[in-house]
Structure 1
């Protein structure tokens, strides 16, 4: 490990950046240095610009994939190397705004009915019933299920924040059935490797198999269930601020995007088409002649 890499790692650890962020930033900077065959200390804004052009034009990376590379370089040069460079030296691409595809209540039920495994049914039901991220479901421990207070404790979710979410009585029944069948010790949903929780990839694969069995044409991922959780809460009258707390969003604007897809918002206004006078009925087409 070079001294610069070690110093950047220490800077990220001091600021308590998430482990995945640390790994991503180191990988991005390493790729940047290897591309030019030089230490990042010897590279400047023009090299950063050339690197971003290469990622966009040669590697065909989308805007969402360019942002981690830019974030890593910003951290390296501004924090670790203390370069007094402006935002213009790290241009962020404008990402297209896409709304998630939302499952209806009936589609969620159909999806759950297509999961034959009790373990994976419990995992994906927990993701929907509590609005958890895939990593948060995977890292639940048995002690996080508090049936006395009817809450689930989420330890160190995104941005290293703890929070509590509701424990659905129906979900509690499912988890108790799963507990009697699997008898998990430490992790609520253990993985194939002893002492480790289930992997995110295993959950994604189970989700994809269930989608195929269900026959639902909409895309379904574990995160789709989280989107459905927030949208269904909003459609049934839950306050946006309360949804923000349950989802663990840092900003209310992140939660507010569900206002654009909830039927309680989109369908609350009557279309002017419905206010038009009834048109005259269309004339009936002439009857076809009979030849036999």
Structure 2
């Protein structure tokens, strides 16, 4: 199995439109944005509680702390949430019928239970299928996040830290290069 597809900007917009439809659209959109705008793994997203994202005053946090128990490498890390992601989280919260408790899971299934990483992974895969994006998976958002940072000139060390990787070689494997990116690169000269 190859690496997860990294959508183009147009494909990303189509994917967001597909995920945002229906009764669970706000929840689905929030999950997608945590993947794309914070580079979180599906298991990390599934483990989140409202208290991880919202402080005691009801304000969406600028930083999210992931404990070692929920990260792939078993190392706690800080995830920075940009203004766009904070706005997405706030919109999701306002779409709910009641203010969630800090201990409540961020994402709840139709059966009113916490998502498992596997169930969320399958749900995300369905969005890619509906959007007609072959090769897309729950890891596409993470690859998009890392690729966009790399092509924006962000320090490789900073990207490595944001991704929660221990080795730069791991981070480099996530970076996608396509004709559009190579065309833009030579235009810099």
**TM-score, normalised via structure 2 length:** 0.77
Local SS of the residue matching 1:205:
helix
Alignment correspondent of 2:81: 167
1:144 and 1:153 in contact (8 A); partners too: yes
**Are residues 263 and 152 of structure 1, via their aligned partners in 2, closer, same or farther at CA, if it must alter by over 3 Å?**
farther
Matches within 5 A, 1:84-103: 98-103=2-7
2:107 and 2:115 in contact (8 A); partners too: yes
- Out of 132, 142, 146, the residue aligned to residue 40 of structure 2 is 132
Local SS of the residue matching 2:86:
helix
Local SS of the residue matching 2:65:
strand
CA distance in 2, matches of 1:124, 1:240: 24
Shift of 1:139: 0.6
Local SS of the residue matching 2:79:
strand
Alignment correspondent of 1:112: 16
Instruction: Determine if the alignment matches structure 1 residue 154 to structure 2 residue 70.
Output: no
Shift of 1:102: 1.8
CA distance in 2, matches of 1:259, 1:122: 23
Higher alpha-carbon Rg: 1
- Out of 139, 143, 152, the residue aligned to residue 236 of structure 1 is 152
Instruction: Determine if the alignment matches structure 1 residue 178 to structure 2 residue 92.
Output: yes
Alignment correspondent of 1:188: 106
2:149 and 2:159 in contact (8 A); partners too: yes
2:34 and 2:45 in contact (8 A); partners too: yes
**Are residues 235 and 161 of structure 1, via their aligned partners in 2, closer, same or farther at CA, if it must alter by over 3 Å?**
same
Greater fraction of residues in helix: 1
Any unmatched runs of 5+ in structure 2?
none
- Equivalent residue pairs, number: 172
